């Protein structure tokens, strides 16, 4: 997947991958339609950071979810 272009398809891919990796309990609350291309670079950075790690502490999970919340439209 080429994530260099801020497209709707790439946003859907990133959000779906984050939901899977983080095993989000309330994944329905994190809809890819809630994000737009204006925050794309921040989403990609967060995606890369999350994909590099195997596990997260509860405080890290809370920070990641808070960051995703701040990137929503």
The model's pTM is 0.86
Which sequence spans correspond to the domains of the chain?
A: 8-71
Phi, psi for 14 (deg, rounded to 5): -60, -50
Q: Is the pLDDT reported for residue 29 higher than 90?
A: no
Tell me the pLDDT tens digit for each residue of 34-61: 898 999 999 999 999 999 999 999 999 8
Alpha carbon distance 3, 26 (integer Å): 25
Alpha carbon distance 55, 30 (integer Å): 20
24 φψ region: left (φ > 0), alpha (ψ -120 to 50), beta (else): beta
């Amino acid at each position: 997947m080429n994530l260099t272009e801020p497209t709707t398809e790439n946003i859907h891919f990133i959000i779906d991958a984050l939901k899977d990796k983080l095993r989000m309990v309330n994944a329905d609350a994190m809809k890819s339609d809630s994000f737009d291309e204006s925050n794309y670079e921040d989403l990609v950075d967060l995606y890369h950071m999350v994909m590099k790690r195997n596990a997260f502490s509860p405080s890290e999970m809370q920070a990641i979810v808070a960051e995703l919340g701040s990137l929503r439209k």
